[in-house]
C-alpha cells in the first residue's frame, strides 16, 4: 500500500488568511495527511481542532502526524455534514473552517484506489471506501445519455458522446473492470490529430467519473452555506479548489453571500432589505508562487478563496 503523503498546497497564504486566533476552534474539513492542520496547531495555542475526512486511511495518517497534539478531534465523515458534525460535538460556532477540495496526491498515487490511469487497477475512485457506489458501477450501469452528461459536464470533454457510446458498446461483451480497459476505450473514441496522444481526453474522462462517483460539486454547494452558518462573527472560511468547475461554484457562492441589496437597478431606494452575510477577504483567488510551483508542481491549478463572517 502507498504511504499516505500529501504536500499541503498554498500552505503559507492559507494559514495567514485564516487569521488563526489563540484559544480559537478550527475545522479542517479535508484533513488528509494533516499538513494544513499541523500548521494551524503550530501557529497559535488554539482551543481545539476538528479534523474531518471521509477517507479512513487519511485519518490514520493524520493521527500519526498530529500525535504530539492533544486537542484534536477526528471525525470520519464528509465535510458536507459539517452542521451535524459540530452539533454532535456540541459546538454552536467555530472560528475558522478550511477545505482543500479534490483528490489527494496519495489517492492518485495509490494504484489500488483506481483514481489514475497511470496504473492498471480495478475501477474504484471512491474517496470513502465504505460507500458501495464506485467507478465500476458508474461505468457499467449508467446509460449512454448519463455517461455523456457526466463526461461532458464534469470533464468538459468535447468527445463525451463518442466516449460514452464506446463504453456502452464495450459493455456488450462483458463488464469494464479496470482503469486500463477504460483508458483503451477513451483512446479508441477520440480522433488523433496534430500530435495529440489522447492523454488529455483520458485525464478529463477520469476526472469526470471521479467527480460523479464522489458527488464532489454537489457536496461543495451544500457545504458552503452550512459552513458559513457555523462561523462566529469574524470567523473565516478558506476553500482551496483545483479546477474551474469548483472555483466557479466557490466564486459565485462567495459573491452571493457578500452581496447586499438585490433590488432591480432602476429602483430608487432599496426595498429588499437584503444584507451581506460575509465579506470577501480575497477579491481574487490566491495562486501558487513560482517557488511553490518548483517544490510541488501539483499546486499549479490550486486557487484559494477566503471569506469572513459579518
Helices 216-229 & 199-214 angle (0-180, nearest 10): 50
Determine, yes or no, domain membership for 113. Answer: no
Out of 180, 214, 248, a domain closes at 214
Q: Which domain holds residue 244?
A: 11-100+216-309
Kindly report the pTM of this predicted structure: 0.90
Residues 80 and 141 reside in one and the same domain: no
Q: pLDDT grade, residue 4 (50/70/90)?
A: low
Residues 203 and 186: their CA atoms lie apart, in Å, by 10
Helices 199-214 & 144-155 angle (0-180, nearest 10): 100
Residues 22 and 154 reside in one and the same domain: no
What are the residues facing 100 on neighbouring strands? 240
Residues 183 and 243 reside in one and the same domain: no
Determine, yes or no, domain membership for 4. Answer: no
Q: How far is CA 172 from CA 16, 79, 165, 179, 254, in A?
A: 54, 38, 11, 18, 46
Residues 51 and 28: their CA atoms lie apart, in Å, by 5
Is the sign of the CA dihedral 150, 206, 77, 131 positive or negative?
Answer: positive
Convert the pLDDT of each residue in 234-255 to its tens digit. Answer: 999 999 999 899 999 999 999 9
Convert the pLDDT of each residue in 146-161 to its tens digit. Answer: 999 999 999 999 999 9
Out of 173, 190, 214, a domain closes at 214
Residues 182 and 123 reside in one and the same domain: yes
Residues 146 and 274 reside in one and the same domain: no
Residues 37 and 185 reside in one and the same domain: no
Residues 143 and 202 reside in one and the same domain: yes
Determine, yes or no, domain membership for 106. Answer: no
Residues 95 and 225 reside in one and the same domain: yes
Q: pLDDT grade, residue 36 (50/70/90)?
A: very high
Residues 128 and 259 reside in one and the same domain: no
Determine, yes or no, domain membership for 6. Answer: no
CATH number assigned to the domain comprising residue 177: 1.10.150.170
Determine, yes or no, domain membership for 44. Answer: yes
Q: Does the pLDDT value for residue 221 go beyond 80?
A: yes
Residues 240 and 292 reside in one and the same domain: yes
Kindly state the cell numbers that stand for 252.
459565485
Count structural domains, the chain. 2
Determine, yes or no, domain membership for 3. Answer: no
Residues 122 and 204 reside in one and the same domain: yes
Determine, yes or no, domain membership for 163. Answer: yes
First to last CA, the chain: 45
Residues 232 and 286 reside in one and the same domain: yes
Amino acid at each position: 500500500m502507498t504511504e499516505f503523503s500529501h504536500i499541503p498546497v498554498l500552505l503559507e497564504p492559507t494559514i495567514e488568511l485564516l487569521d488563526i486566533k489563540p484559544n480559537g476552534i478550527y475545522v479542517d474539513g479535508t484533513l488528509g495527511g494533516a499538513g494544513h492542520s499541523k500548521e494551524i496547531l503550530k501557529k497559535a495555542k488554539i482551543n481545539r481542532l476538528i479534523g474531518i475526512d471521509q477517507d479512513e486511511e487519511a485519518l490514520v495518517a493524520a493521527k500519526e502526524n498530529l500525535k504530539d497534539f492533544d486537542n484534536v478531534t477526528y471525525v470520519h465523515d464528509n465535510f458536507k455534514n459539517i452542521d451535524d458534525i459540530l452539533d454532535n460535538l456540541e459546538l454552536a460556532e467555530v472560528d475558522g473552517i478550511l477545505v482543500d477540495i479534490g483528490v489527494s496526491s496519495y489517492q492518485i498515487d495509490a494504484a489500488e484506489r483506481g483514481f489514475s490511469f497511470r496504473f492498471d487497477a480495478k475501477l474504484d475512485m471512491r474517496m470513502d471506501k465504505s460507500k458501495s457506489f464506485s467507478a465500476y458501477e458508474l461505468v457499467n450501469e449508467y446509460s449512454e445519455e448519463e455517461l455523456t452528461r457526466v463526461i461532458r459536464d464534469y470533464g468538459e470533454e468535447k468527445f463525451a458522446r463518442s466516449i460514452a457510446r464506446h463504453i456502452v458498446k464495450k459493455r456488450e461483451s462483458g463488464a469494464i473492470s479496470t482503469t486500463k480497459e477504460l483508458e483503451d476505450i477513451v483512446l479508441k473514441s477520440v480522433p488523433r490529430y496534430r500530435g495529440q496522444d489522447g492523454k488529455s481526453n483520458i485525464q478529463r474522462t477520469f476526472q469526470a467519473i471521479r467527480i460523479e462517483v464522489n458527488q464532489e460539486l454537489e457536496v461543495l454547494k451544500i457545504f458552503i452555506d452550512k459552513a458559513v452558518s457555523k462561523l462566529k462573527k469574524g470567523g473565516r472560511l478558506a476553500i482551496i479548489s483545483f479546477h474551474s468547475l469548483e472555483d466557479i461554484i466557490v466564486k459565485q457562492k462567495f459573491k452571493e453571500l457578500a452581496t447586499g441589496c438585490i433590488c432591480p437597478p432602476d429602483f430608487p431606494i432599496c426595498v429588499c432589505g437584503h444584507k451581506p452575510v460575509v465579506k470577501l477577504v480575497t477579491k481574487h483567488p490566491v495562486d501558487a508562487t513560482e517557488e511553490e510551483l518548483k517544490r510541488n508542481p501539483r499546486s499549479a491549478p490550486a486557487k484559494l478563496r477566503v471569506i469572513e463572517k459579518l
